[in-house]
Amino acid sequence: MGIGKHPDDSLEVMNPQPLIDNFGREINYVRISVTDRCDFRCVYCMSEEMTFLPKAQTLSLEEILVLARNLVACGVTKIRLTGGEPLVRSGVVGLVKSIRELPGLKELCMTTNGSRLQDLAAPLKNAGLDRLNISLDSLDADRFRELTRTGRLGQVLAGISAARAAGFEHTKLNAVILRGRNDDEVLPLVDYALENQLDLSFIEEMPLGVITEHSRAEAFIASEELRTIIGSRYPLQPAADVTGGPSRYYRIPGHNNRIGFISPHSHNFCGDCNRVRVTTEGRLLLCLGNEHSLDLRSVLREGDQSEAAVDARVQVALHQAMTIKPEKHHFNLDEEPQVLRFMSATGG
Ligand code: SAM
Ligand code: SF4
């Protein structure tokens, strides 16, 4: 039995159905932004001066857990916590533990800038976090500082070591390469990943939010060009394993690591999109490159606060949202950004 109306007209959840959109895509992966705040100000992600959301507008940890519980009840098997920087949110380790205990969840991951992993890698592992993605755009301390505006490379490299020491496996580095800023770091980053048994994904810069420091069109480098640079030193062979995600993976013979390319411009991956995002404010975003969304915070906060009533409302809202998930995104670097929110608010 699916979600239905109770005879007394209150909504009751009996046996939730999976989340399937109008294009037949099943949504089983959700990225949740646990904060819009961050200790870095990466040039492609934030402006130097940022105004962050007042606390009352952001979801509490308890509300995030309620959403996670209902998402998992509706068939979501993978959750990624992100931000902003998820590790600046106090109580995040407890949240990881609670979400990981939800029956039916297969994988709980986190994307982090790594700055706090020296202290938090072991507690996160003990709390049950399955995997980490760590962002790293440069191996040169001065360059790293320029790109992040506030970050310290040594701290992040120590964080990466701490993650390994804590027992995290299949950790993946994410790198955004900008022409004229760090395009000479492609090969050093590949070398570093190979030496440290890390996977590595190169992400094409996306036009999210208005930035002034560089022209996104001029800084843009397509994944194809990165593959040519890497191919000058290492033979890249397309990996047989398909992840269902937007990354296209390659392997280098003799190494176990995967090198991935996330190419929202040059390769439209919308056809197999299996994901949605929840912003820090509790907005369910149906597509990274569109504004289609549903306000889950109001659904959580308005009405009967009994657990059954909240669960029923949330699950009905999730199913309703499936009907407005767009078929695909359109990014155009030469135009003004169509999406004014920053990646940090979106949950990248
Ligand atoms: N603070 C964490 C971090 O940096 O890993 C998690 C949040 S961050 C928004 C997630 C990922 O989005 C990072 O790997 C970052 O490089 C990427 N990102 C941010 N802004 C982007 C943009 N405009 N285009 C492409 N990737 C972006
Ligand atoms: Fe912070 Fe991550 Fe955005 Fe950098 S990419 S400013 S670390 S949220």
Nearest to 306 by CA among 10, 7, 97: 10
Q: What amino acid occupies position 127?
A: A
Say what the alpha-carbon torsion angle 40, 135, 146, 266 is, to the nearest 10 degrees.
-120
pTM for the model: 0.90
State the alpha helices, DSSP H only, in 50-183: 61-73, 92-100, 117-127, 141-148, 153-165
pLDDT at 5 (0 to 100): 38
The residue assigned the tokens 């490379």 is 153
Question: Residues near 115 by Cβ (< 8 Å), separated by ≥ 6?
Answer: 39, 40, 85, 87, 151, 152, 155, 156, 159
Q: What amino acid occupies position 115?
A: S
Residue 237 phi/psi, 5° resolution?
A: -115, 130
pLDDT at 273 (0 to 100): 81
How far, in Å, CA of 252 to CA of 269, rounded? 23
Output the residue whose Cα is nearest ligand 1's atom 20: 45
pLDDT at 219 (0 to 100): 85
Output the residue whose Cα is nearest ligand 1's atom 26: 205
pLDDT at 6 (0 to 100): 35
Output the residue whose Cα is nearest ligand 1's atom 4: 113
Residue 45 Cα to ligand 2 middle (Å): 6
Q: What amino acid occupies position 26?
A: E
pLDDT at 10 (0 to 100): 43
The pick from 85, 87, 135 for probing ligand 1's pocket by mutation, whose C-beta has the most ligand atoms within 8 angstroms, reads: 135
| Contact (CB, 8 A) for 267 and 283 | no
- Ligand nearest to the CA of residue 205, numbered in listed order: 1
Say what the alpha-carbon torsion angle 282, 285, 288, 289 is, to the nearest 10 degrees.
-120
How far, in Å, CA of 243 to CA of 260, rounded? 11
pLDDT at 296 (0 to 100): 97
Pair type for strands 247-251 and 4-5: unpaired
| Contact (CB, 8 A) for 3 and 316 | yes
Q: Is 240 exposed, middle or buried, given 0-12, 13-18 or 19+ CB atoms closer than 10 A?
A: exposed
State the alpha helices, DSSP H only, in 8-140: 61-73, 92-100, 117-127
Each residue's pLDDT tens digit, 260-272: 998 776 555 676 7
Question: Residues near 216 by Cβ (< 8 Å), separated by ≥ 6?
Answer: 44, 205, 207, 333
Name all domains of the chain by residue range, CATH numbers in brackets. Answer: 29-346 (3.20.20.70)
pLDDT at 332 (0 to 100): 55
Residue 232 Cα to ligand 1 middle (Å): 27
For ligand 2, whether the C-beta of 40 sits within 6 Å is yes
How far, in Å, CA of 242 to CA of 109, rounded? 18
Residue 220 Cα to ligand 1 middle (Å): 15
Biggest CA–CA distance in the chain, Å, is 69
Residue 94 Cα to ligand 2 middle (Å): 22
Residue 173 Cα to ligand 2 middle (Å): 14
Along the chain (348 residues), what's the average pLDDT of each consecutive run of 10 residues? Answer: 36 73 90 97 91 95 98 97 97 98 98 98 98 98 97 98 97 96 96 96 81 77 94 93 73 94 70 86 84 91 97 96 78 52 58
